[in-house]
Amino acid sequence: MAEPAVAVMAHHEEEDHGHHGPGGWLKYLWSTDHKVIAMQYMFTGMFMALIGGFMAYVFRMQLAFPGINVPGFGMVSPGEYNALVTNHGTLMIFWVAMPVLLAAFGNYLIPLMVGADDMVFPKINRLSFQIFFLSTIVILASLVVEGGGFAGAWTAYPPLSANETYNLTPLGSTLWVVGVGLEFVAFLLGGINFITTLMNSRAPGMRAFDVPIVVWMIVVASILFMLSVGPLLAGAIMLIFDQTLGTGFFDPATGGDPILWQHLFWFFGHPEVYVVLLPAIGVVAEIITTFARKKLFGYRIVIFTIVATGVLSFFVWAHHQFIAGIDPRMANIFTITTLLISVPIAEMCFVYIATLYGGSIRLTTPMLWALAFIAEFLIGGVTGIFLGAAGADIYFHDTYFVLAHFHYTFFPIAIIGTFAAFTYWFPKMFGKMMDERLGKWHFWLTIIPFNFIFIPLFVLGMGGQHRRIYNYAHFPELAIPWFQNMRIVATVSLLVMLAAQLIFFYNCYKSWRRGRKAPMNPWKANSLEWTTQSPPPHGNWRPDELPVVYRGPYEYSVPDRDDDYWPQNEPDSRGSR
């Protein structure tokens, strides 16, 4: 108990000193409050999602109606098309999924859910966002410099990415690498905080297995990120040297090896999938237990499976490179590890489905999103098996089948997972209840078009349609009318889905301005963030009211109790622990 109290005092002193000078928005800008930083990450991420979504709109219009003058953009040249798909991928993964799921919700939830007044290192947290913000400016600048944005795919394979005579975007490609590198630094700093805060600042009484799953997930994700990002950062610096100083790390003409980059990239890139997946899975665990009024089925199974997934994720990277020119015998090993990873992930899905068994399910908007995550992610999971089997990957590699597969994983993660978390914690974050009717309209108008975008793309991939082609007219086998009709279906569905997001923004605005005031614990949930007011004050709880924990976070519907929930901080009658 002593330690948090000291931390709070130190914190308040610092506040007093810091606030002599600038007030107003500068106070907001330099705030070290984890909740403020979380909001900054979230709104930056959502802004970037709008840009990434706009890019998708432009290139999908070009694919459905080749040569069209896209409203709001104009004609799409082949170079622009490549830049659009490249930066759509880059932004959606590094500037949307990462900041929103990992950084925003990690920042917001970890201190509140472990019962701490703030992160362990609030100033590092502030620095983390500032570097992230800088990286955002760099990546946005890379889109508008002379020569245009980087156009060598988000995987940035050299020699194309390393040499301006090949990629024709001298400034864009260098700024792209610098932006991505800065972004990694920002998340490393954030990750330090997540890990140390969980280790050191848990409320008295909170043991390792009393920590909510989402916190575990975010912390494991941060550890995976820290362990995997080093090789890629090194690779990024080598790539910058290749681009600007004329070194030849990745250029065979000067003795380098382009495959080296692929190894460095995917050694990071595959764990990265789990870095963004785990927070989403954690969010879903919180929501389905709350709205099924059920204890999580096999809490420890989930913890062990995420650790197993995390370890395995370091041994699967070359499944992205089966036909890239690696020794073909290596493919055998990576086929085995890749299919093995299906076991813990399948187990995780089973656990969530089993959690619903015997529940008392309330289909609120956040619950709909959480259930949709499971239903849709299953499609993404099972289609991965096709690609993990090296023999089938010969055909599927770099086709729309791959594209549809990873959109069925990343969309549930980054979009469905975010909406689930956002609608679930909205009352806590903004102190207002969201409009359920609008929320459900938004849900259905997002989920249904989403499937109509990507199921046709699976079929096109099966038909041999390869990726990153601005116009299929040059390929007679792919230019047939019913393929083109499928492209149009996908594009029209995308337009519907994008339009449906207006409902979301309107709902946010309306609920924030005129919504019903949120009570402390609107969902009757157990974890600690619901034991403080909505929204929580600076320091989260009054210093003398910091919570003490008596049990795990999923004690719903415990027999012989009047309430069907049992907050973590409520002493039981016998006062044990």
Partner 1 sequence: MERVGHFFDDIGLIRIGSSYAADIDFLIILVLVVVGVWFLAAEFVFMYFIVKFREKPGRRADYIDGTNKRHKRWITYPHLAVLVFDVLIVVVSFKVWHKIKIDLPENPDAVIRVIGQQWAWTFQHPGADAELDTPDDIFTIDELHVENGKLYHFKLEALDVLHSFSVPVWRIKQDAIPGRSITGWFQPTMIGEFDVQCTEICGFGHGVMAGKVMVEDPATHSAWIEANTPALLAE
Q: Where in 399-418 is the site for partner 1 (CB under 8 A)?
A: 399
Q: Please identify, using beta-carbon distances, which residue of 440 and 466 lies nearer to partner 1.
A: 466
Closer residue to partner 1, CB minimum distance, 116 or 162: 162
- Is-contact 98 187, C-beta < 8 A? yes
Among 559, 573, 574, 576, binds partner 1 (CB under 8 A): 559
Name the minimum Å distance from CB 446 to partner 1: 19
Which range, of 27-35, 114-122, 253-261, 415-423, touches partner 1 by CB under 8 A?
A: 253-261
* CA 360, chain centre distance (Å): 29
Considering only 170, 269, 463, 519, the residue that binds partner 1 (CB under 8 A) is 463
Q: Is 448 in the site for partner 1 (CB under 8 A)?
A: no
Nearer to partner 1, 468 or 538 (CB): 468
In the complex, what is the shortest distance from the CB of residue 309 to partner 1, in angstroms, rounded to a whole number?
13
Q: According to CB under 8 A, which residues from 161 to 220 bind partner 1?
A: 163, 166-168
* Alpha-carbon gap, residue 221 to 216, rounded angstroms: 8
454 touches partner 1 (CB under 8 A): no
SS (H, E, C) 409-464: HHHHHHHHHHHHHHHHHHHHHHCECCCHHHHHHHHHHHHHHHHHHHHHHHHHHHCC
Q: Which amino acid is at 46?
A: M
According to the binding rule CB under 8 A, does residue 308 interact with partner 1? no
- Write out the two tokens for 195: 């890990």
**Binding residues among 59-88 for partner 1 as defined by CB under 8 A:** 78-79, 81-82
Please, which of residues 315-374 interact with partner 1 by CB under 8 A? 323-325, 328-329, 331-332, 335-336, 339-340, 342-343, 346-347, 349-351, 353-354, 356-363, 371, 374
Name the amino acid, one letter, at 289: T
Nearer to partner 1, 94 or 556 (CB): 556
Q: Which is nearer to partner 1, 379 or 518 (CB)?
A: 379
Tell whether residue 481 is a contact of partner 1 (CB under 8 A): no
Runs of H (alpha helix) within 100-169 = 105-114, 122-144, 164-167
Peptide bond into 535 cis (omega under 30): yes
Nearest distance in Å: CB 472, partner 1: 9
Residue 399 contacts residue 381 (beta carbons within 8 Å): no
The CA–CA distances, whole Å, from 370 to 281, 289, 377 equal 9, 10, 11
Give bridge partners of residue 399 from the DSSP assignment.
466
Q: Return the SS3 of 466.
A: strand
The answer to whether residue 246 forms part of the interface with partner 1 (CB under 8 A) is no
Residue closer to partner 1 (CB basis): 22 or 78:
78
Minimal distance, residue 77 CB to partner 1, in Å: 9
DSSP lists the bridge partners of residue 432 as: 517
Least Å distance, CB 544 to partner 1, is 34
CA-closest candidate to residue 577, choices 549, 547, 544, 555: 549
**Closer to partner 1 by Cβ: residue 258 or 536:** 258
- Is 399 strand, coil or helix? strand
